[in-house]
Chain A
Amino acid sequence: MVPLTLGLGPILVFMQWRWLRTGNELFLRMTKFWGKIYVINFIMGVATGLVQEFQFGLAWSEYSRFVGDVFGAPLAMEGLLAFFFESIYLGMWIFGWKRLNKHVHLYALASAVVASMLSAFFIIVANSWMQHPVGVELIDGRAVMNDVWAVLTNNTALAAYAHAIFGALSVAAGVIVGVSFYHLWRRRHDGIDTVDAQGRVVVGEAPEIAGRDKLDHRVWLKSLRIAGVVSIAAFIGLVGTGDGLGKLMYEQQPLKMASAEGACHTGTSFSVLSVGSLGSKDCEDIVPILEIPGVLSFLAKGDFTTDVPGINELLPVYEELYGTNLPDDPMYGDRAGEEIEYLPIVEVTYWGFRIMIGFGGVATFAAVLALWLTRKGTVPKSKLLMQAAVASIALSFIANSSGWVFTEMGRQPFVVVPNPEALDGVFMFTAAAISPGVSTGELLFSLISFTVLYGVLLLVELFLMRNYVRGGVASAMPELAHRDDDTDEDASGEDSTDETGRTKTARKTSEDDVLDFAF
């Protein structure tokens, strides 16, 4: 859920900024509705972030001892420079409607969003250090930081951060497109909007439903338009940064990329589809069905002819550099002396990589299609299309998650991947990182209970999201339900009702609206 928070933030800032500049109630409605979705989602990020800050000490104490000197710093920076401001300013934004000056109120939102972007940056810096350790030297068996600037500008971190931000924008855009499409469809289905002979929309209204006025139509159409553009831009960004990230990974973690490609033998061909037992160690059973020559070289090196080393060539290199068996050291527990499996689970990396790219592409295609379908101001009356649009929301989430699964699983068996350029000895096997004092029972207990807890909370969140989405703008602006009948806007929405307080009945005070938005 964190990518949605990250991606929705900048879009929300844009909407509120437009409201401030134009005074057009259209943008106020957009800000309030998507803001409500943002807030419902935000708290899940807070709850999961809590665990992140403590888990390294809980289950990975040997890891924390080995890398604490360098790894704890970005986490502490996240807390001090980002998380504090994110939390304080978001609270001010949620409760600040009408209590803060409008500029200050927008400033609060923008600060919360910038802080959340910064927060993501520090977390990705920490994660990328595990993928590509820099800025440290090995002293007495510990990674000791000697260059914080190198850590913060780690090329892997910069590429991964850009990629993650575009991914987040893509997720948020997918949500907005899907939900907006649903509401436009609902208006057609309920006969509120109709189309004329040329297929152009004739906007109507339904006075008996809160919020279903003419302006409502523009809320969804405009949201869809903005998100469609964001989705396309994000996809271009994803392709560009993904390409850069892939090339870095070929240098830094060749085996991860080779396994993502199912590339057994050294060569230049990109496997479109491979079948067989992907997991077998010598990869004799991997049978490429369809390969495009040259593409793998292009992805890895930027030309079409350079041979890219395959799994068969890489495994002996890893074994020579880092040994064939885990050291006979008590820190490895039961696994001391065990043979090391350098090849990640190829099924996971191969398909994770493809699902990420495939579903990301399909999600963007869905956004483009939605833009095309709404060119005449509304959506086709087809229920199937609406269902497809709502289902497509899941695609970008799945693409995003499989990207993370791919990059994390592909790192195994290392928790800190050796840096091929320099830094001898700064690497760590996952088997050595866990807490020696913690029993398997404790780990199992926490793993199961956290999974159950998150599962339940996810269901609760989806239930609330569904309610608020189906309620439309009035779910975030209860004052819409209490408007006088004579305050209807014309279809353009460019009227003077920029302060919703003016159009309310005397029964409610403005204080009520603030708390209504907050809770």
Chain B
Amino acid sequence: MDLPTLWFVVIAVLWFGYLMLESFDMGVLMHFFGIARTPTERRVLLNTIGPVWDGNEVWLIVAGAATFAAFPYWYASLFSGLYIPLVFALFALIVRAIAIEYRSKHHTERWTATWDRLMAIASLLASFLVGALLAVTTTGLPLNENGDRVGGPWAWFSWPAVIGGLALVGFSLIHGANFLALRTEGELRERSRAFVLRWTPLLILPLLAWVIIVQVQSGSAFTWTLVVLAAIALVAAYLLIRAKRQKAGFITMGVFLAFGVAAIFAAVFPVVLPSTIDPAFNLTVWNAASGDYTLGVMTVIALLGLPAVIITQAWSYRTFSKRLATKHIPEIHEIVPAVRKK
């Protein structure tokens, strides 16, 4: 395998890491006004992802930065071409991060309610836009010979973008509820399980549609095999969850995601960003990549960094694996100025 191909695989792995971990973060916050019904229940939800969400989000940042380092032409064309959705996605991610940290640092009903709504909306928006961005990467943008987008700021908006957006939102809702069923107890756990069992068949459809669109476009026997394996894993995950084997179900859902991501990335290979104007303008792993020296350096860095990251993150999840419920939430304490009242 040559270095550009290896880095294509690395970037696929980074996206898998992001989707696997951040999807449930996003989903948990989207469930703020469904599975959770009171401000205290919302805080339980928040606490399930509290120690880990920030680390999860770094997978996205690293996926972006690794694309820059390994495929500068891909990075430049994709992100400038998707200017508007990416700017909105960044807004959403910024607001979400701030909301998570600041939601419980001041105590008025309005303050908490505002951040709660912002968190849920920002998660929905970020999920949709990142999904759209990824889907467009697989189906293409109107790019000219220099790799620049033509056709104006909304040229990216297309059916595949909408399907990709819905796919990530749907998957996040399922994955988030699954995660909550693992990390909460009592009523919250029951509601989460019920949500998964009831809505998975519907919410998974856009993701399946995206996988199949890409296969029809450029699939091979190998990638169709991956699709079949993904489908088997999906059914298995559903049955496991129905049989109350929550943890096994969660992991199997991850296997489904892994096969799904692999099916998409393997089908588009070696094209990293198709041009819908002329296939001659397609960006491929070879014409978009950095030089071999840079890729070699980055390979060493990735070999050092990625295993250490995975081990550390696993340790962090283990540390915070205790189930949470409303009874664990402390009473509200007001921040009172430390002054002597006259």
- Footprint of B on A, CB under 8 Å? 39-40, 43-44, 46-51, 53-54, 56-59, 61-62, 64-65, 67-73, 75-81, 83-85, 87-92, 94-96, 99-100, 139, 144-146, 148, 183, 186, 190-192, 206, 208-212, 435-439, 441-442, 445-446, 449-450, 453, 457, 460, 463-464, 467-468, 470-475, 478, 481, 508, 511-513, 515-516, 518-519
For the complex, give the distance between the alpha carbons of A99 and B320 in Å: 9
In the complex the two chains form, is B301's CB within 8 Å of A518's CB? Answer: no
- 26 A-B interface contacts by CB (under 8 A): A56-B68, A64-B75, A72-B75, A72-B294, A73-B294, A73-B297, A73-B301, A76-B69, A81-B301, A83-B58, A84-B55, A85-B309, A91-B53, A91-B54, A92-B316, A145-B293, A145-B294, A208-B340, A209-B338, A435-B148, A437-B148, A453-B91, A460-B98, A475-B335, A512-B330, A518-B50
User: Distance in Å from the Cβ of A478 to the closest Cβ of chain B?
Assistant: 4
CB < 8 Å neighbour of B65 from A65, A76, A99, A449: A76
Does B196 sit at the interface, judged by CB under 8 A? no
The 8 A CB mask of B265-300 against A (1 = contact, 0 = none) is 000000000000000000000000011011001100
Does B125 sit at the interface, judged by CB under 8 A? no
User: Distance in Å from the Cβ of A183 to the closest Cβ of chain B?
Assistant: 7
In the complex formed, the residue of A with least CB distance to B103 is A519
User: Distance in Å from the Cβ of B117 to the closest Cβ of chain A?
Assistant: 15
User: Distance in Å from the Cβ of B10 to the closest Cβ of chain A?
Assistant: 10
- Footprint of A on B, CB under 8 Å? 43, 46-47, 50-55, 57-58, 61-62, 64-73, 75-81, 83-84, 86-87, 90-91, 93-95, 97-98, 100-106, 144, 146-150, 152-153, 290-291, 293-294, 297-298, 301-302, 304-306, 308-309, 312-313, 316, 319-320, 328-331, 333, 335-340
In the complex formed, the residue of B with least CB distance to A93 is B51
In the complex the two chains form, is A80's CB within 8 Å of B101's CB? Answer: no
In the complex the two chains form, is B106's CB within 8 Å of A467's CB? Answer: yes
| Residues of the B chain whose Cβ atoms lie less than 8 Å from the Cβ of A190 | 339-340
CB < 8 Å neighbour of B73 from A43, A65, A460, A478: A65
In the complex formed, the residue of B with least CB distance to A183 is B338
User: Distance in Å from the Cβ of B67 to the closest Cβ of chain A?
Assistant: 8
Leading 6 A-B pairs by shortest Cβ distance: A68-B72, A57-B79, A72-B69, A437-B148, A72-B68, A80-B305
User: Distance in Å from the Cβ of B122 to the closest Cβ of chain A?
Assistant: 12
Q: A40-B101, A47-B97, A437-B81 are in contact. Are A95 and B50 (CB under 8 A)?
A: yes
In the complex the two chains form, is A64's CB within 8 Å of B72's CB? Answer: yes
Q: A54-B64, A72-B72 are in contact. Are A40 and B105 (CB under 8 A)?
A: yes
In the complex the two chains form, is B54's CB within 8 Å of A87's CB? Answer: yes
Consensus secondary structure, chain B interface: helix
In the complex the two chains form, is B76's CB within 8 Å of A471's CB? Answer: no
For the complex, give the distance between the alpha carbons of A148 and B147 in Å: 28
In the complex formed, the residue of A with least CB distance to B309 is A84
For the complex, give the distance between the alpha carbons of A56 and B58 in Å: 18
| Residues of the A chain whose Cβ atoms lie less than 8 Å from the Cβ of B91 | 449, 453
In the complex the two chains form, is A76's CB within 8 Å of B66's CB? Answer: yes
| Residues of the B chain whose Cβ atoms lie less than 8 Å from the Cβ of A50 | 61, 90, 93-94, 97
For the complex, give the distance between the alpha carbons of A77 and B297 in Å: 10
For the complex, give the distance between the alpha carbons of A99 and B315 in Å: 13
| Residues of the A chain whose Cβ atoms lie less than 8 Å from the Cβ of B305 | 77, 80-81, 84
For the complex, give the distance between the alpha carbons of A342 and B231 in Å: 61
CB < 8 Å neighbour of B97 from A43, A148, A183: A43
In the complex the two chains form, is A61's CB within 8 Å of B65's CB? Answer: no
For A139, A190, A208, A515, the residue with the greatest tally of chain B CB atoms inside 10 Å of its CB is A515
CB < 8 Å neighbour of A453 from B94, B297, B340: B94
In the complex formed, the residue of A with least CB distance to B81 is A437
| Residues of the B chain whose Cβ atoms lie less than 8 Å from the Cβ of A445 | 87
Q: A72-B75, A148-B297, A516-B333 are in contact. Are A57 and B101 (CB under 8 A)?
A: no
In the complex the two chains form, is B291's CB within 8 Å of A145's CB? Answer: yes
| Residues of the A chain whose Cβ atoms lie less than 8 Å from the Cβ of B309 | 80, 84-85, 88
| Residues of the A chain whose Cβ atoms lie less than 8 Å from the Cβ of B75 | 56-57, 64, 68, 72
For the complex, give the distance between the alpha carbons of A512 and B304 in Å: 38
In the complex formed, the residue of A with least CB distance to B56 is A87
Q: A46-B54, A83-B61 are in contact. Are A57 and B68 (CB under 8 A)?
A: yes
CB < 8 Å neighbour of B46 from A81, A467, A519: A519
| Residues of the B chain whose Cβ atoms lie less than 8 Å from the Cβ of A191 | 340
In the complex formed, the residue of B with least CB distance to A149 is B297
In the complex the two chains form, is B61's CB within 8 Å of A519's CB? Answer: no
In the complex the two chains form, is A46's CB within 8 Å of B97's CB? Answer: yes
| Residues of the B chain whose Cβ atoms lie less than 8 Å from the Cβ of A192 | 340
For the complex, give the distance between the alpha carbons of A67 and B69 in Å: 10
For the complex, give the distance between the alpha carbons of A49 and B75 in Å: 17
For the complex, give the distance between the alpha carbons of A516 and B305 in Å: 33
| Residues of the A chain whose Cβ atoms lie less than 8 Å from the Cβ of B319 | 92, 96, 99-100
For the complex, give the distance between the alpha carbons of A508 and B327 in Å: 11
15 additional A-B pairs beyond A78-B65, A145-B291, A508-B331, beta carbons within 8 Å, are A43-B100, A46-B54, A54-B86, A57-B64, A69-B294, A85-B308, A87-B58, A91-B51, A139-B291, A148-B293, A446-B87, A511-B328, A511-B330, A518-B47, A518-B50
In the complex the two chains form, is B73's CB within 8 Å of A186's CB? Answer: no
For the complex, give the distance between the alpha carbons of A191 and B339 in Å: 10
For the complex, give the distance between the alpha carbons of A464 and B319 in Å: 29
In the complex the two chains form, is A515's CB within 8 Å of B335's CB? Answer: no
| Residues of the A chain whose Cβ atoms lie less than 8 Å from the Cβ of B47 | 515, 518-519
In the complex formed, the residue of B with least CB distance to A46 is B97
In the complex the two chains form, is A87's CB within 8 Å of B65's CB? Answer: no
In the complex formed, the residue of B with least CB distance to A478 is B333
Q: A59-B80, A212-B338 are in contact. Are A47 and B294 (CB under 8 A)?
A: no
For the complex, give the distance between the alpha carbons of A139 and B79 in Å: 24
For the complex, give the distance between the alpha carbons of A94 and B338 in Å: 24
For the complex, give the distance between the alpha carbons of A208 and B53 in Å: 39
For the complex, give the distance between the alpha carbons of A73 and B7 in Å: 13
In the complex the two chains form, is A519's CB within 8 Å of B68's CB? Answer: no
In the complex the two chains form, is A69's CB within 8 Å of B149's CB? Answer: no
User: Distance in Å from the Cβ of B45 to the closest Cβ of chain A?
Assistant: 12
In the complex the two chains form, is A88's CB within 8 Å of B313's CB? Answer: yes
In the complex the two chains form, is A43's CB within 8 Å of B302's CB? Answer: no
User: Distance in Å from the Cβ of A103 to the closest Cβ of chain B?
Assistant: 14
User: Distance in Å from the Cβ of A115 to the closest Cβ of chain B?
Assistant: 10
In the complex formed, the residue of A with least CB distance to B68 is A72
CB < 8 Å neighbour of A90 from B54, B64, B68, B72: B54
Q: A81-B305, A146-B293, A442-B83 are in contact. Are A508 and B330 (CB under 8 A)?
A: yes
For the complex, give the distance between the alpha carbons of A445 and B87 in Å: 10
